[in-house]
Amino acid sequence: MSLNQTIPIKAAIVIIHLLFCQLIFAQTENQKNTIEQEPVRLKKYNLLDNSLNFQPGYFAKPNYFNSPFPAFENYNQNLFFQNNTPVTNFTFSQNKFESIMPGLGSITHYTNQLRWKAGKKTTLDFGAGLAMQSTVLDPFIPNFQISFRAALEYSFNDWLSAYFYGQYVTKPMNKPDDYFDPLIYKNPLFIQTEIGAGMKAGFKKSNIDFQINSIYDSKFGGITPVNSKIKIGF
C-alpha cells in the first residue's frame, strides 16, 4: 500500500470519529434539556360536569321533621310554597253605576271594592271610585269627583242582613272652588258625602235594599235631616 492511499483512509477515520462524537453529544444535550424543561400540562375543568342531574324547579324539603332537636318538633309545613292555601276571605270587584234622570241630570259612578269576610256573619267593605255627575244646568261638563266608602254588614241568615256605612265625596276636581250647582246640593238622588244604615233582603233572583241616610252639608257644615230610599233589583 502506498503512502498516498494511507492518508485518505486515516482522514476518513478521523471524520467518522468526529461525526460520531458530535451525534452522541447532541443526543446527550437533547436529553438534558428534555429533563429540565418538562412541558406544562393543562387540564380543562367544566363547572357543569357535576350538575347533569339537576332538575330546575325541584327543591326537596329539608329534613327538619326527623331532627332530634326539640326546636323543630312544631315546624309548620305550610311555610313551603307548594303547600300554601289560597286566601278566600278577600274578594275584589269593580262596578259601574249609571242613572239618567230626565229633566234633572245623570250619574256615572265607577267603583273598586275590596270585601273582607271577617267572620261567618260579619263582612267589611272598602271602596274607592270616580263619580261623574251633571245636571241640566251644566250638561256638557260633568263634575269629576273622587269617592271613598266603608261599610260593615251583619248577616242574620242567608237572605237578610243589616249594614252601616260612611261615604266621602270630594269637591269637583274640574270646577272652581266656589262652584255651586243647586240641583246637586244636598240632593239624595246624587252621590253625596253621607252616613247611613240599611236592611237588605234577597229572594231568589230579586233583592230589596231599604236605606236611611244623613247628608253632610258641605257648604255650611253639619248633618242634614234623615232621608230614606228603597232599591229593588232583579
Sorted by sequence, the CB contacts under 8 Å of residue 160 that are 6+ apart come out as 199, 200, 201
All three cell numbers of 187, joined, read 240632593
**Structural domains present in the chain:** 90-233 (2.40.160)
Strand segments, DSSP code E, in 7-159 are 90-101, 105-117, 122-135, 143-155
Residue 128 to residue 108: CA distance in whole angstroms: 14
Q: DSSP H helical segments within 37-135, as ranges?
A: none
Residue that has been written with the C-alpha cell 437533547 in this structure:
30
pLDDT at 56: 44
| Count of C-beta atoms within a 10 Å radius of residue 202 | 14
> Three cell numbers at 45?
375543568
pLDDT (tens, 9 = 90+) of the chain, 234 residues, equals 444 445 556 555 656 655 555 555 555 555 555 444 444 443 333 444 444 444 444 444 444 344 444 443 443 444 434 444 445 699 999 999 999 999 999 999 999 999 999 989 999 999 999 999 999 998 899 999 999 999 999 999 989 999 999 999 999 999 998 899 999 999 999 999 999 999 999 988 889 999 999 999 988 888 888 888 898 887
**C-alpha dihedral (132, 134, 139, 143), degrees to nearest 10:** -50
Whether 185 and 171 have beta carbons less than 8 Å apart is answered as no
Check the CA dihedral 54-60-66-71 and report its sign: positive
Contact predicate 230/213, CB 8 Å: no
pTM of the full structure: 0.60
